[in-house]
A and B are shown apart, each in its own frame.
Chain A
Amino acid sequence: MRFWDIGTHHVIRTAGLTKVYRSKGGPTITAVDHLDLGVHGGEIFGLLGPNGAGKTTTVGMLTTRVLPTTGQAWVGDVDVVADPVAAKQMIGVVPQESTLDRALSVWENLYFHGRYFGMTARSAKRAADDALERFRLADRADAEILELSGGMAQRLMVARAVLHQPRLLFLDEPTAGLDPQSRLALWEVINELHADGQTILLTTHYMEEADQLCDRVAIMDHGRILALDAPAALKRTVAADTEIRITSPDSTRVPELAVHLEGFEGVKAVSSSDGLVRVYLHADHGGLARLIAHADAGGFDISDVKITEPTLEAVFISLTGKDLRE
């Protein structure tokens, strides 16, 4: 645990942070809309929301790459707009696309990163060696970047981002596009960093990721934060609701079934994806039997019904009426 990360003071703050994209002849898009945010030292803070919610733009502004239209942002005591060079010294960033240097080997990527951040040749060498061990990449030290699998490349990106011991680590959709096994491996890496006291802000549109990793989650949509709390507390807000997953043997009629169930008494929200319908019911135990009967009356076959605990996705749906994947 590093001493500066102990305590609950905010190591990231934003005040009225706003980004408006104006394109000539195109629409004006408010990607981030008066965002007020505070991230505590040592926590994993998640921004959860669908694509286009403004998560990446928020990270872009906090990491000096996107200039805010209005509002302010600080990392530690550094105003990121006024003093980007000081801010860059304090942060490590893993962007969505690979930014590994393809002209360099795996080891050289780490070594030169250390040099960019002012390490001596000797300490950069040692830091690169240590990082390869720690992130289980030691046997790939001399590999070219293009030889790495997606999971290894992503681990290298994280290894590089923390090489200069930044006080803050930003992970933008760290596991997007990874296979399930690589995703679990990366979660493990993130949890280890967290255990060492690393403050992490991550964005994701996977509710499991936010649920499993984050101490606190901000649910974002259309550039605004709709809810912010610990995952368990967020789920309690919809705890009165029950999620019912209905599978129909005729998957082509699933959207139709969703529409059919939408207006039914006691139904809070309905969504359909992956061949099943998710129905969020107000807590009313009599509702389920009547719901099935209602589907049956509409001429829909039902092959399976599952009642589940609420998830962060349920929280998102109850806040926005739509699916995270939409």
Chain B
Amino acid sequence: MTTATASLDQALVPVRSKRAAATFAFRALLVRDVMVLRKTFVAFLMRTVTQPLLIVFVFAYVFPEIGQGVGGSGEGAALFSTSLMPGLIGVAVIFQGIQAVTIPLVAEFGYTREIEDRVMAPLPIWAVAVGKMVSGAIQSAIAGLIVVPFALWIPSTPVEVDVNWPVLVTVGPLACLLAGALGLAIGTRAEPGQIPLVFGIILIPMTMLGAAYYPWERLDAIPWLKWAVLVNPLIYISEGFRMALTGIPHMPAPAIYGALVGFTVVLGWIAIIGFRRRVLT
């Protein structure tokens, strides 16, 4: 039996070492997800763009133009536009984690069962789960990039960008992985009927209280809120992008990095356990 590496026909697959088989399979899973993304790119664009576009349009263009203040007018409005840009990127990243991972996964576990073909690929189940997180992270990154031009050019007041590249190339991938892990963790636990609930009681509060629309530092005025929102992973994503892209005061860097890594590891672990439980009996 063990000598049976199939060499009779070119199309035959030789039996590979586990490591090689798993590496090929992992890469192919990612290629599959990217290919599906390409096929559905218009839908991806629409779901990515609509919400941030409207937020930036209403808050950073309409409000200052009509003189109704969110960030006030003049210097206040400029500060608001600058502060909003990293927040919008953070919201796009988190939203995409849910939309790219949770929603398909809930359908696949709930009724289509199609995830099983990928579970039968020759790689460990935890690696299939990690593959889902990574492909979610890739989609989050694309979504974050797509939002940038809107956040820069729509506001009626100038957005002052101050890029810290070392921070951006570390915070960016971490934030995207965190979004993928969150998406998978929710996806392995939610039932198809609970999807509206995921948006209503998880995603909306997360974005409203995620320091996306205001810098976390400014919550000094409401101390209980300033500490309560720390359970929200989006805080660290928004503050991380604020640190990477603007000169606005932000949470201390070690807190941002520590929380991004911590949330990614904990949510990733919860997601892998949940994924195993859903596919193995």
Contacts and interface: CB of A to CB of B under 8 A. Distances in A.
A193 to B, nearest CB: 15
Pick the most buried of A77, A89, A112: most chain B CB atoms within 10 A of its CB. Answer: A89
A184 interface: no
Given A97-B113, A112-B32, A123-B11, A89 B281 contact: no
A103 B20 CA distance: 26
B169 interface: no
A106 B29 CA distance: 17
Given A11-B1, A102-B112, A115 B11 contact: no
B193 to A, nearest CB: 20
A98 B112 CA distance: 8
A118 B114 contact: no
Nearest to A21: B281
A66 B28 CA distance: 25
A65 B21 contact: no
Interface in A7-60: 9, 11, 21, 60
A165 B40 CA distance: 32
A9 B1 CA distance: 10
Contacts of A97: 113
Pick the most buried of B15, B28, B120, B123: most chain A CB atoms within 10 A of its CB. Answer: B120
Interface size class of B (residues with CB under 8 A): 35 or more
Contact of B25 (A66, A118, A165): A118
A117 B25 contact: yes
Contacts of A83: 18
Interface stretch (B2-10, B45-53, B77-85, B264-272): B2-10
A126 B120 contact: no
Contacts of B11: 119, 123, 126-127, 130, 165
B16 interface: yes
A88 interface: yes
Contacts of A126: 11
A88 B125 CA distance: 11
A3 B1 CA distance: 10
B114 A89 contact: no
Contacts of B104: 103
A95 B116 contact: yes
Contact of B114 (A102, A123, A130, A165): A102
A148 interface: no
B119 interface: yes
Contacts of A60: 281
B117 interface: yes
Interface string B4-39: 101011111101101011101100110110011001
B142 interface: no
Interface string A183-218: 000000000000000000000000000000000000
B124 interface: yes
A99 interface: yes
Given A84-B124, A123-B10, A130-B11, A112 B28 contact: yes
Contacts of A9: 1
Contacts of A11: 1
Interface string B54-89: 000000000000000000000000000000000000
14 contacts: A21-B281, A65-B116, A66-B280, A88-B121, A98-B113, A99-B113, A101-B117, A104-B35, A108-B35, A116-B28, A116-B29, A116-B118, A117-B25, A123-B11
Interface of B: 1-2, 4, 6, 8-13, 15-16, 18, 20-22, 24-25, 28-29, 31-32, 35-36, 39-40, 104, 112-124, 279-281
